């Protein structure tokens, strides 16, 4: 996959000027400040598990529907199927973390989305079903950059402050590495496809929205599971 230097610079600028400041704002939130200090309650850790399980199940279902939606385009169809295959184990990982913290299967069965989490998942659904390929790629770039960072934070500070079994840490150990490759792939494809001023502005707007939605997601978990 090739692109010119100008488009590569555009993607680099989006990452540096929009996505990374959003990541740092998330890391400065109450949730991650408490995590780093060892003051985050077990209940709020359980909330992450429950809400991420709901979201990941939604991602799998929207990927399955998205594959059907793109069935007439072999390349797009296989791309969505590949993404589904990469995500299929993630709800199990998220649930395993919560079970290690004392949740039961029934807690997951009866759980409902917290407000900010629902908005974030709804935006992901919008990106898949109502947006085009650039919207979907931008969604992946923004979200997975943030997931890679906060998975690293969880992996570091859960080990430092909390007694979590190694097997229950799988969600974080997987995401802190795998999403680096995923974000690079999305960035390269965006650089190829987003060549017009209109497309590039769509990328910027979606990245700004995703940063705000991700922060709202964790604020909702913090408040809902006080």
pTM of the model: 0.89
Q: Who wins on pLDDT, 62 or 34?
A: 34
Average pLDDT of the chain, as a whole number: 90
Q: How many domains does the chain have?
A: 1
Instruction: Identify the sign of the CA torsion 58, 147, 14, 78.
Output: negative
By residue range, what is the domain housing residue 46?
5-224
For residues 119-138, average pLDDT: 84
What's the helix, strand, coil split of the chain in %, to 5?
85, 0, 15
Query: Is the pLDDT reported for residue 166 higher than 80?
Result: yes
Q: Write a three-state SS string for 91-120.
A: HHHHHHHHHHCCCCHHHHHCCCCCHHHHHH
Query: Is the pLDDT reported for residue 2 higher than 60?
Result: no
Query: Is the pLDDT reported for residue 130 higher than 90?
Result: no
The separation between the first and the last C-alpha atoms of the chain, rounded to the nearest angstrom, is 47
Which residue in the block uniquely carries the two structure tokens 């490759």?
A: 181
Residue 31 belongs to domain with CATH number:
1.20.910.10
pLDDT of residue 136: 82
């Amino acid at each position: 996959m090739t692109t010119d230097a100008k488009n590569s610079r555009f993607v680099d600028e989006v990452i540096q000027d929009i996505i990374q400041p959003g990541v740092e704002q998330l890391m400065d939130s109450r949730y991650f400040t408490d995590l780093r200090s060892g003051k985050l309650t077990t209940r709020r850790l359980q909330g992450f598990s429950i809400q991420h399980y709901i979201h990941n199940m939604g991602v799998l279902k929207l990927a399955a529907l998205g594959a059907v939606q793109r069935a007439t385009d072999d390349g797009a169809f296989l791309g969505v199927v590949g993404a589904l295959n990469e995500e299929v184990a993630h709800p199990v990982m998220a649930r395993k973390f919560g079970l290690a913290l004392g949740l039961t299967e029934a807690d997951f069965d009866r759980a409902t989305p917290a407000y900010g989490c629902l908005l974030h998942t709804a935006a992901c659904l919008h990106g898949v079903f109502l947006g085009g390929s650039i919207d979907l790629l931008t969604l992946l770039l923004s979200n997975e950059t943030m997931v890679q960072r906060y998975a690293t934070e969880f992996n570091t500070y859960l080990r430092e402050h909390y007694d979590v079994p190694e097997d229950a840490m799988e969600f974080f150990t997987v995401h802190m590495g795998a999403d680096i490759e995923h974000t690079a792939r999305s960035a390269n494809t965006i650089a190829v496809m987003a060549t017009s001023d209109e497309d590039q502005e769509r990328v910027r707007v979606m990245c700004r929205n995703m940063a705000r939605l991700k922060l709202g997601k964790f604020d909702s978990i913090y408040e809902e599971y006080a």
